Amino acid sequence: MRVRPLSVVMALVASAFVIIHPAAATERTVVKEVFSPDGTISRVRVVEPPSEPAPLSAVAAEVVPIQQTGPSASRFDLVFVGDGYTASQMATYHQHVVNRWNELTRIEPYRSLKDSFNVWQVNVVSNQSGVDNDPSNGVRRDTALDMNFWCGGTERLLCVNETKAKQYAASAPQVDQVLAVANSTKYGGAGGGVATSSGGNAQSGDIVAHELGHSIGGLADEYDYPNDLYTGSEPREVNVSVYPSATMSQYKLKWYAYLGRTSPDGGVIGTYQGGYYHRRGIYRPTDNSLMRSLGRPFNLIGLDVMRTAIQRKAGGVV
């Protein structure tokens, strides 16, 4: 019988016990809108923020009506939740919520349709004041909603645990849109299922107006970052189209009836190249509306869509 060398035997034994490590689980990512102080908007893909729920015993919270104009069945219910406000800072939180609502209602159609909204403040109490990564990256706070700057490596991107935010928001009588405000004066915010903004920064208020364009009006983004040529089909949203004005007019498509009309955001309605995250191959109605840049009015198409959506639920309240 042939005898194998001991080293060969040991190698064979070792090979029988090789541990096969499973491939690392693929991290889930989400797309977030990023807002800049100059009004420009872009999108980034980030690792999905934590979404663990809070213990049910922790989410009971006082609800303060900012304004209540009618039954929720015929109103849009906006619910504010705060993060990084301690029990002794509820007055500061209240002022931040009131400021955000006042900023919103300076913009049409929120100004003229103000009474179509119920607005609720849920008093979310945190153990520590402030939020993560403020004023600098690496700062950690013990807060109720886990809000943090530097989300996905972008300083002004302000993320929140959306599960916890919605849990607390459910304390309100009804919820159509959740708005999370951070106890911070640093500029920042994010779009998504829960829109975020810095409670102590007035510029951050425009983020709410833009996000409601999505959630109430179903409007598309009109900025053209980050892609080049759009090659897809005609979008379902009313404020972007693959058709130039001549084709719209000929076949009575999309906003053909608005072509040539003066728009609140300046200029006239036409078909302007770029939008829907692409620079070419798709058009928007005006040069620069709120769905393209913060600090701007809605264009005429967006304004009419928003008014119709609000009045449809509010039963024509003006």
Total domains, the chain: 2
Look at residue 198 and tell me if it is in a domain: yes
C-alpha distances out from residue 35 to 191, 208, 279, 295, 296, Å? 9, 11, 19, 11, 13
Q: In terms of domains, do 129 and 273 share one?
A: no
Q: In terms of domains, do 50 and 170 share one?
A: yes
Model confidence pLDDT, tens digit, residues 81-130? 999 999 999 999 999 999 999 999 999 999 999 999 999 999 999 999 99
Average pLDDT over residues 227-238: 97
Q: Which residue range is the domain that position 247 belongs to?
A: 227-314
Q: What CATH code is carried by the domain that includes residue 34?
A: 3.40.390.10
Cα–Cα distance for residue pair 116/288, rounded to 1 Å = 27
Q: Taking a C-beta distance cutoff of 8 angstroms, is the pair 213, 293 a contact?
A: no
Q: In terms of domains, do 84 and 183 share one?
A: yes
Look at residue 5 and tell me if it is in a domain: no
Q: Which of 176, 193, 215 is the last residue of a domain?
A: 215
Structure tokens at 303: 């304004």
Q: In terms of domains, do 90 and 209 share one?
A: yes
Residue 67 has phi, psi (to 5 degrees) of -155, 140
Q: In terms of domains, do 114 and 232 share one?
A: no
* Least confident residue range of 14-23, 116-125, 285-294: 14-23
Q: In terms of domains, do 194 and 269 share one?
A: no
Look at residue 8 and tell me if it is in a domain: no
Look at residue 11 and tell me if it is in a domain: no
Average pLDDT over residues 230-247: 98
**Helical H segments across the chain, by residue range:** 6-15, 90-104, 162-169, 206-215, 245-251, 300-314
Look at residue 6 and tell me if it is in a domain: no
> Nearest Cα to 80, choosing from 57, 59, 101?
101
- Exposure of 22 in the CB half-sphere (CA atoms within 13 A): 3
Model confidence pLDDT, tens digit, residues 151-179? 999 999 999 999 999 999 999 999 999 99
